[in-house]
Amino acid sequence: MAHTTLGAHTFGCVWDMDAATAVDALAAEGFRSFEFIAMPPHLDPRRASPAVVRGLRRAVEQVHGEVLALDLPSNDINLASTSVDVVDFNVESYSATIRLAGELGARWVVVLPGRRHLLLPPHDDRLLNIYRAAMGRLVRLAESCGVRLLIENHPQTLLPDARSIADFLTQERYGRVDSVYDIANGFAIGEDLNTALAALKVFLSMVHVSDSPAGQWRHDQIGQGDIDFAAARAALESHGFEGPIVAEIIVPDPVAQLVQARATLRAGGWQV
C-alpha cells in the first residue's frame, strides 16, 4: 500500500471533549487529519458560535492539521422520511453542517442515505425519491460552500452496500458527491470488500476502519474483532486506493484507542 493519511474520527470524544479539545489531545499523539462528529455537546453545527468556529480553526491551524470531513450522527438523521417536517429538519441540519464545513475548510460532509424500516418497508421507490429530492437540495448548497459530499454505506439505510450507492451515484450524476466506504459497516451485512471496492470505482474518496465481531455491527478496536485487516489492506492495494483512511473507533478512552489502532495498522503493514 502506498503511504496514505490516517485520520482520527472524533466520535468517541463526543461526551467528554469539545472538538477543539479533541484536536489538541489527538495532535499531541501525532494525528494531523480529523473527521469531526457534528453532534452536541462535542460540536453543534446548528448553534456553533463564531467564537467556537474560530477556536476550532485555530486549534487545527496551530498543529498544521486538516479537517477531512464532518459527520452527523446516524440516530438523528433520516433524509427519506415520509414526514415533510422530518426531512426539512434534516436538510436544515445538513445545511448547517455544510456551512460549518466550509468555514472550517473541510473537504467533505458525510451524508447518510435515508432510513428504511426493516419490519415493513414500502414495496416501491417512494423513500428513494424523497431522499433523491433532499440530496438535490444539499448538493446545490455544497457547491456554493466549496464542499463535497460523501455518501456512506450504512446497514440501516436505503443504500446499505457499495453496489446500491454506486448505482445511485451513476444514475444521479451529481458531480460533487463521492463515497466513503466503512469497512465495519460492510462487514456487518456480509459484504465482500473486493466486490465493494470494484463497485465504487471512481466514487471512492475515503475509507473508515474499525473492527467488529462476526454477525455484529460495532466499531471496536482494530484486532479485537473478526475483520481480516491483512486482506483489507491487500484489497485496497489491489484496487489502487490512495485516499485518506480514517480510524473510527467508538469506545471509551478514544485517544489512547486511536493511537493503538494506528500502531496495529502499521504493524500489519499499512503505510499510514
pLDDT tens across the length of the chain (272 residues): 667 899 999 999 999 999 999 999 999 999 999 999 999 999 999 999 999 999 999 999 999 999 999 999 988 899 999 999 999 999 999 999 999 999 999 999 999 999 887 777 888 899 999 999 999 999 999 999 999 999 999 999 999 999 999 999 999 999 899 999 999 999 999 999 999 999 999 999 999 999 999 999 999 999 999 999 999 999 999 999 999 999 999 998 999 999 999 999 999 999 99
Write out the three cell numbers for 184: 465495519
* pLDDT score for 1: 60
Residue 181 near residue 194, CB atoms below 8 Å: no
User: SS in 3 state form for the chain?
Assistant: CCCCCEEEECHHHCCCCCHHHHHHHHHCCCCCEEEEECCCCCCCCCCCCHHHHHHHHHHHHHCCCEEEEEECCHHHCCCCCCCHHHHHHHHHHHHHHHHHHHHHCCCEEEECCCECCCCCCCCCCHHHHHHHHHHHHHHHHHHHHCCEEEEECCCCECCCCHHHHHHHHHHHCCCCEEEEEEHHHHHHCCCCHHHHHHHHHHHEEEEEECECCCCCCCCECCCCCCCCHHHHHHHHHHCCCCCCEEECCCCCCHHHHHHHHHHHHHHCCCCC
* pLDDT score for 2: 65
Per-domain residue ranges for the chain? 6-267
Backbone torsions φ then ψ of 65, nearest 5 degrees: -100, -175
* pLDDT score for 117: 78
Fold of 6-267: TIM Barrel (3.20.20)
